[in-house]
Structure 1
Amino acid sequence: MDKTVELGVKSRTELIAGGLTDNDLRRMVRRGELAVERRGWYSTPGADSDALLAARGYGALSGPTALDKHGIWVPPGYEEVHIRAGKDAMRRGTACCRPPGPPLPVHSILDPVPLALCSAVGCMSPDDWIVVADSVLNSQGLDVELLLVMLPRANATIEMLLAECDPRSQSGTETMVRTRLRRRGHDVVVQPNLIGLGWFDLRVGRLLIECDSKLHHTSLENYRKDRRRDRKSLARGYSTMRLTYDDVLYGWDDTLADITRTLDDDRHRLPPPDDE
């Protein structure tokens, strides 16, 4: 599941497993090729600053920080470095995030995705946790049941949030819109495929919702394609609402009001044509 992410900080156990000996480590420290960050942990020149902070804090990068370094999109608001404490850090009172249950040992400076996801449940809002869980599911090709099995720790909160996850989600903004609308009682269809038009992000009745991610850039070709789809879908009884990243992240109240007014129109309550 996890791709190797090199941060420049490793434990003695990892270095020995990689073929080095204790004599090698001592020699590399003398030469300046390695630095001792704490007992049994070493860094290379230019090591990741967050990883150094975790090593010196007797823990591992976890939660949203680790998920971000694994390439999982994390919503804004979690820029502070999140460290999962090992037992030594717990005795020293280091502030950190943690998974449910008693402390787990630290084997690597960067927690694997399942452990980081467990730790994040105590650090992130429920909606944001669902966003990162959806990203894990979609990027790794997993379903909810398999991810639950892979988590080293789970509790009632994690199971409840996983029940709202959907591996079909293509972006964090799509996940946010889906969960928010469903909690208001709307029947939201994920990734509907309209015959002859292709896939859309979400559908509520006859309203199609397309959600842009932060990195979305519309080329002229995509712009033309999107407008053609809007025209064709309108001719078949659908309306399309396109939401920007800012609409979802920073202007949701206004966006929701527009969605609600649109859905209050009786024509959007009609069953959609049989063309999915």
Structure 2
Amino acid sequence: MLMHAGQVPLEVLLLRAEGVLDPLFRTRDLRLAGLTRRQIIAAVDTGSLLRTRVGVYLPATASTEVKCAAMVGGRLACVSVLARMGVFVHSKDAVHVHVPRSASRLRNSPRRVRLHWATLRREPHPQSARVEVIDALIQATNCQPPRAAVATLDSALYLRLIDDSDLDEIFAHVTARRRVLRRHVNGRAESGPETLVRLIARALGFDVHVQAEIDGVGRVDLVLDGWLVIECDSEAHHSGWIAQKRDRRRDLALAARGYSTLRPIAEDIMYHPEVVVAALRGVAAAGRRRPS
């Protein structure tokens, strides 16, 4: 294929990296795709390719996090990878980057970068700018607070990115103090905040049922002690008057059946858990009886 200077056959590059999310290209990949040295230089000059370090390039469409990881000299890792896959993570403030132990020299990393050095369990695709999901989950289990780590694993299970055998592998390679979290993982939770409330409620001594079906109402997030329904609300799924009317009518239907409803918002669950703890302690002190 003949090309003018600066013209990059991205369709050829992406075809060579088929199935790879967040691909990166080394000089040899570009040469195999048919680019000459002059064309590579022109492509960088015109912005068609991004040169992150010597011999390593990214598509112009690469995300800011992937660019950061490549510039540091590693691959996107931990919660940064999981968030891009739609997995719940508690915080995305820093860019998490895995760097090989053999790396002899790193570029200056910005303050918002967190480095991971542990040996990977799965070898990433040679043209991938991210670690594999198993390694990202091992890193996230060690890196996050315990409840958030369980919520992340719940989310990965719910999305069917991993199965029980993968969980066994993950917990075989996390730190010893995090292995006790294995018994708290439950892939039925539909959201991270739901997992967080479940863990809080169980720590307070509640008997918790996840994704319970109630006749005449449907499925609810959590039922505590057989009478208190918890619905974990987020702006994405509960904003707007139509959604609010639906939620309030569900609450009325639950009340008619003897249930009480508590709707903590995701923001409080994640960043103000003491508010949720106080609410649950308050209703527990009320000593409500199980509905007939």
Query: Matched residue pairs, number?
Result: 261
Return closer, same or farther for 1:240/1:141 CA change in 2, 3 Å cut-off.
farther
Amino acid in the other structure paired with 2:254: S
Aligned to 2:267: 246
Inter-CA distance 59–152: structure 2 relative to 1 (3 Å threshold): farther
Q: Distance in 2 between matches of 1:4 and 1:159?
A: 32
Summarize the Cα distance change of 1:58–1:142 in structure 2 as closer, same or farther, 3 Å threshold: closer
Residue 192 to residue 152, structure 1, CA distance change in 2 (3 Å): closer
Confirm or deny that 1:87 pairs with 2:104.
Answer: no
Output the CA distance in 2 between the equivalents of 1:195 and 1:48: 46
SS at match of 2:75: strand
Shifted more, 163-172 versus 49-58: the winner is 49-58
Unaligned runs of at least 5 residues, structure 1: none
User: Which residue pairs with 1:180 in the alignment?
Assistant: 200
Q: Work out the CA distance in 2 between the residues paired with 1:260 and 1:227.
A: 23
Matched, 1:123 2:143: yes
- Supply the distance in 2 between the matched residues of 1:260 and 1:103 (Cα, whole angstroms): 42
Would the alpha carbon gap of residues 174 and 223 (structure 1) be closer, same or farther in structure 2, given more than 3 Å must change?
A: same
Change (3 A) 1:34 1:220: closer
Q: How does the TM-score come out when normalised to structure 1?
A: 0.80
Deviates more, 1:249-258 or 1:194-203: 249-258
Do structure 1's residue 211 and structure 2's residue 232 form an aligned pair?
yes
Conserved? CA contact 1:171–1:213, under 8 Å:
no
**Offset of 1:243 from its aligned partner?**
1.2
Amino acid at match of 1:230: D
If the length of structure 2 is used for normalisation, what is the TM-score? 0.76
Give the drift of 1:149: 4.9
How big is the alpha-carbon RMSD for the aligned residues of Structure 1 and Structure 2? 3.1
User: What pairs with 1:245-264 in structure 2 (closer than 5 Å)?
Assistant: 245-264=266-285
Distance 1:244 1:58, change over 3 A: same
Give 4+ residue runs of structure 1 displaced > 6 Å after superposition. Answer: none
Aligned-partner residue type, residue 42 of structure 1: Y
Aligned counterpart, 1:29: 40
Number of the residue aligned with 1:134: 154
**2:66 equivalent to 1:45:** no
What is the percentage of aligned positions where both structures have the same residue? 29
- Is the partner of 1:24 in helix, strand or coil? coil
One-letter identity of the residue aligned with 2:272: G
In 2, Cα distance between the equivalents of 1:174 and 1:149? 23
Distance 1:49 1:28, change over 3 A: farther
CA distance in 2, matches of 1:251, 1:53: 31
1:74 corresponds to which residue? 89
Assess if the C-alpha contact under 8 Å between 1:87 and 1:104 holds in 2: no
Residues 1:226 and 1:162: Cα distance change in structure 2 (over 3 Å) = same
- Describe the superposition over 1:61-114 as per-residue Cα deviations: whole angstroms up to 9, x where unpaired: 0011111122223223x311110112343x336761245x57876642112222
In structure 2, runs of 5+ residues without a counterpart are: 1-17, 108-113
Task: Please state how far the C-alpha of 1:56 moved relative to its aligned partner.
Answer: 2.5
Query: Does structure 1 retain, via aligned residues, the 8 Å contact 2:221–2:229?
Result: yes
Q: Does 1:147 align with 2:166?
A: yes
Tell me, in whole angstroms, the C-alpha distance in 2 between the residues paired with 1:213 and 1:253. 18
In structure 2, the partner of 1:97 is 116
Q: 1:12 to 1:190 in 2, by over 3 A?
A: farther
Matches of 2:210 and 2:198 in 1, distance apart?
8
1:128-169 deviation digits (Å, cap 9, x = unpaired): 1112211111122754x1332564962345543232121111
1:60 and 2:75 equivalent? yes
Pairwise CA distance, 1:25: 6.0
